[in-house]
Amino acid sequence: MSERPRAVAGLQARMGSTRLPGKVLADVVGKSLLERVVERARRAALVDEVVVLTSTENSDDPIEELCEARGITVRRGPLDDVLARYLALADEFQPDHIVRITGDCPLIEPSFIDLELGALRAFDADFVEAWPAPADGPHPHDRSGLEGTLAGAGAFSTRALLAARSCRDARDREHVASFFFQREAARFRFVDIEVDPDYDRPGLRLCVDEPEDLAFVRRVFERYGDTAFSTLEAIRWLDARPDVRGIHGNVRESDDNRACREEERRRRRTVASVGLYRRPVG
């Protein structure tokens, strides 16, 4: 029997932020935002190791210090060349698959990470794209309602990452995903995955960009604390708490981020999927 493919999660984090500097070390009910993200990433059954990827800038020294104090593996690389950090991760840890996690999304869903990795393995694919169930129904090719609830964690094959080693575009090297989903989408194998339609919530954002987002996330963790709650549990609780949802109801995604996602979505539609993956039963 062949060995199970190895998966490593690279959690990118930095202290610099235009809208909320230092947010990754902000307190979220007794633990830093970064620790909350690491905890949830570690709950994914198919992830073998979680590594924080920060920069070599002096301003990011506190991230390394926190990780060392908490027993979290940390590696450092160029500030603006995020792709280089992931390539170094691949070279050192030699995984078959990598999960890219952003350090400002403390409500990432561990079972969704496992679903992504399962799909990559089942179809020998390079990337996955989630659709609300039924994913093979007459959906209008609109998954925008998932982009706020399932943001922050994306799995891909190491071979796809290595294909980007020769990339020279500064924007692609900073944003990573733009190389795969915009410039070179036709080179890779995409597989569709089906998720619970309750994730399909247009307008609901679970990442931290503004002070209001941080206040919102704190309320969620005040409700659940250190329990192993799922993102869907939190979403369904929020359905009954419009007062909590309203904490950051006026915060809007930046025009740059929205334009980037729309372009990725447009280019992705031009590439056929290699299949549809549903979670195995039992």
How confident is the model at residue 280, as a pLDDT?
57
How confident is the model at residue 281, as a pLDDT?
44
How confident is the model at residue 264, as a pLDDT?
60
How confident is the model at residue 1, as a pLDDT?
40
The domain segmentation of the chain, as residue ranges, is: 7-277
How confident is the model at residue 59, as a pLDDT?
98
- CATH C-level class of 7-277: alpha beta
Taking the chain (282 residues) in consecutive chunks of 10 residues, what is each chunk's mean pLDDT? 85 94 97 98 98 98 99 98 97 98 96 96 92 62 74 93 91 83 78 89 91 97 97 96 92 64 58 75 41
What's the pTM?
A: 0.91
Question: How far is 207 from 106, CA to CA, in rounded Å?
Answer: 7
What Å distances lie between residue 211 and 40, 104, 108, 116, CA to CA?
Answer: 22, 12, 19, 30
Question: How far is 30 from 40, CA to CA, in rounded Å?
Answer: 15
